[in-house]
Amino acid sequence: MKKILVTKPFMAPRKEYEVYIKKIWDNQWLTNMGPFAVELEQKLQTHLDVENLMFVSNGTIALHMAIKVLGLKGEIITTPFSFVATSNSIMWEGCTPVFVDIEKGSLNIDPSLIEAAITEKTTAILATHIFGNPCDVEAIQEIAVKHKLKIIYDAAHSFGVKFKNNSIFKYGDISTCSLHATKFYHTGEGGLIIANDAEILKALGYIRNHGLQEDQGFASIGTNAKNSEFHAALGLVNLKYVDDILKKRREIAKIYERKLKNKLEFQVWNNSASKNNCYFPVVFSSEKQLLHVKERLEQNNIYTRRYFYPSLSSSLPYLDPVILPITEDISKRCLCLPIYFDLNLEDVENICNLILSEI
C-alpha cells in the first residue's frame, strides 16, 4: 500500500536542474552570493512585487536577523499558535516572548488583546500569518504606531499571498518567509527577509555576511546566513512552476472543502486576501475525535500532522507556562491534511471518505 504523507516537496524535472548544476561546476562558485543567488533574489523581487528582498539560508535565521537589525530588546508580543521557531528566535536574541491568545476563526493573533499585553518593556509585535492567512495587518499597524512599536511578520507560509492586491510581505517593518522543502515554493533549504526600508536591507546585508563591510572592515555584528548556488538553482527551476503548483493545490483544497463542509471546521480566511493553500488545516469537534481519525488514517498509510500542537505558551520548558484558552483548545483539535503537488485527486476523495466514515 502506498504511503500518503502530509506534504512532499515539489520536484521540478531533473534535467532542468542539471543544466544549472553543470554551470555551477563550470563556475566553481558554490556560495557567498554567487550568480544564481543574485539572480534568484532579482526574480523573486519581480515575482512577488516587492523591493528590499534578501535570500538567506533559512526562515529561522531570517527571524533572528529581523530582531537583530531592528535592535529589539525587552518584550516582544507574539502568538502561541505557530511553529516553535517564532518563539525560539525571540529567546535566542535575548528578548522575552509575551503570548497573546488567537482568534478562533482566523487562528491568528487576536489584535483586540494586544494592547492589554503592552508594558514599558515592549518593543515589538511579532505575528505569524498562520498557514499563510494574513493577520489583521491594519489593526496591528494602528496599535504599533500608537505605542511606537516595531512589527515583524513571520510569513513563513505566505509565499505569493496578497492582501488588498499587495504582497503580504509589504506589511510591517520586516517580513520573513521560509523556503523549506515542505513549503508551497521551496529552495530545499532557504528563507527570505523583506524590509520596508532600503537602509534596513543594507544593514541586513552586513549581518548576513558576518558583519563584513567589503574591504572596509566590519559594519556590525553578523552571522553566516548566506545560501548556496545549489539551493538558488533549485529555486530558479521551481519558480517556473509556481502557477502549476498553485492550480493543483487549489484542486485538492476544493475537494476537501466540498466533502468535509459542515462536518469539520475550516480556518476562516482573511476576506481581503488571496490564498496559496500551503496547508489544509481542519478543526475537529474534540481532541478525542481528532486522535481517533488520525489513527485510522495512519492504519491506511495516510499521515497527517498536528500543526500546531502543543501550544507554545504552555509547553516550552524554558518559559513559565501561560494558559490561553482559545489556543489551548484549537491546538488540541487542529489537524493538517495531506496537500502537495503529486497527490492524486482520487486519493484526496478517499481520504475524505475515510474521515467521514469515522466522525
Instruction: Give the angle subtended at the CA of 172 by the CAs of 324 and 100, to the nearest 5°.
Output: 5
| Bridge partner list, 167 | 162
Q: How far is CA 311 from CA 115, 124, 130, 243, 262, in A?
A: 21, 21, 14, 34, 26
Coil, strand, or helix at residue 219? coil
H-helix or E-strand spanning residue 202? helix 198-208
Bridge partners of residue 336, in order along the sequence: 281, 305
> What's the CA angle centered on 244, arms 81 and 132, to 5 degrees?
15
CA distance 326 to 185: 30
Measured distance CA(186)–CA(234) in Å, rounded: 8
Q: Which residues contact 175 (CB under 8 A, 6 or more apart)?
A: 152, 153, 155, 158, 168, 169, 193, 194
Indicate the CATH number of 14-239 among 3.40.640.10, 3.40.50.300, 3.30.70.260, 2.30.30.60. 3.40.640.10
Q: Is 274 exposed, middle or buried (0-12, 13-18, 19+ CB in 10 A)?
A: middle
The answer to whether 137 and 29 are in contact (CB under 8 A) is no
Closest CA to 149 of 175, 176, 115: 115
Topology match between the domains 14-239 and 242-356: no
What string of DSSP letters covers 10-45?
Answer: ----HHHHHHHHHHHHHHT--SSS-HHHHHHHHHHH
pLDDT in single tens digits along all 359 residues of the chain: 689 999 999 999 999 999 999 999 999 999 999 999 999 999 999 999 999 999 999 999 999 999 999 999 999 999 999 999 999 999 999 999 999 999 999 999 999 999 999 999 999 999 999 999 999 999 999 999 999 999 999 999 999 999 999 999 999 999 999 999 999 999 999 999 999 999 999 999 999 999 999 778 999 999 999 999 999 999 999 999 999 999 999 999 999 999 999 999 999 999 999 999 999 999 999 999 999 999 999 999 999 999 999 999 999 999 999 999 999 999 999 999 999 999 999 999 999 999 999 99
Instruction: Enumerate residues 6+ apart whose C-beta is below 8 A from 303.
Output: 3, 4, 5, 6, 297, 338
The domain ranges of the chain are 14-239, 242-356
In angstroms, rounded to a whole number, what is the distance separating the alpha carbons of residues 233 and 314? Answer: 40
> 66: which 3 cell numbers?
529581523
**Residue with the three cell numbers 504552555:** 314
**Confidence (pLDDT) at 1:** 66
Contact (CB, 8 A) for 154 and 140? no
Pick among 3.90.1150.10, 3.30.1280.10, 3.40.50.10420, 3.40.50.620: CATH of 242-356:
3.90.1150.10
pLDDT of residue 216: 84
